[in-house]
């Protein structure tokens, strides 16, 4: 099984998010995307809510972009 980190970051200093592509070595197995969220409550002030949402959205969008890029193939020089 191989794991490739597509994107990761923090929505608050103590709340990381990671998005990984998991590929099983069996030819019939399909790849899976795993999103790891904090295992605790993420607290923020109402004034910071927009920043927290923006951070989460950015991390997930970066993962989607990276996955799409990898479907195209290796980078060209």
Q: What is the pLDDT of residue 73?
A: 54
Domains contained in the chain, number: 1
Q: Which residue range(s) make up the domain with 50?
A: 2-72
**What's the CA gap between 18 and 11, in Å, rounded?**
11
DSSP 8-state secondary structure symbol assigned to residue 38: -
User: Would 6 be classed as within a structural domain?
Assistant: yes
Q: What is the pLDDT of residues 43-77, one digit of tens each?
A: 999 999 999 999 999 999 999 999 999 885 555 44
Specify if 77 maps to a domain.
Answer: no
User: What mean pLDDT do residues 11-29 have?
Assistant: 90
- Beta-bridged to residue 23, according to DSSP, are 2
- 58 Cβ neighbours under 8 A, 6+ residues apart: 9
pLDDT band at 33, cuts 50/70/90? very high
User: Is residue 40 one of the residues assigned to a domain?
Assistant: yes
| pTM, rounded to two decimals | 0.82
Would residue 55 count as lying in a domain? yes
């Amino acid at each position: 099984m191989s794991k490739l980190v597509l994107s990761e970051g923090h929505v608050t200093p103590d709340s990381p998010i990671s998005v990984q592509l998991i590929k099983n070595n069996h030819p019939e197995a399909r790849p899976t995307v795993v999103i790891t969220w904090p295992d605790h409550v993420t607290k923020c002030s109402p004034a910071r809510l927009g920043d927290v949402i923006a951070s989460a959205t950015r991390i997930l969008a970066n993962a989607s972009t990276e996955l799409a890029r990898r479907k195209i193939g290796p980078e060209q020089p």
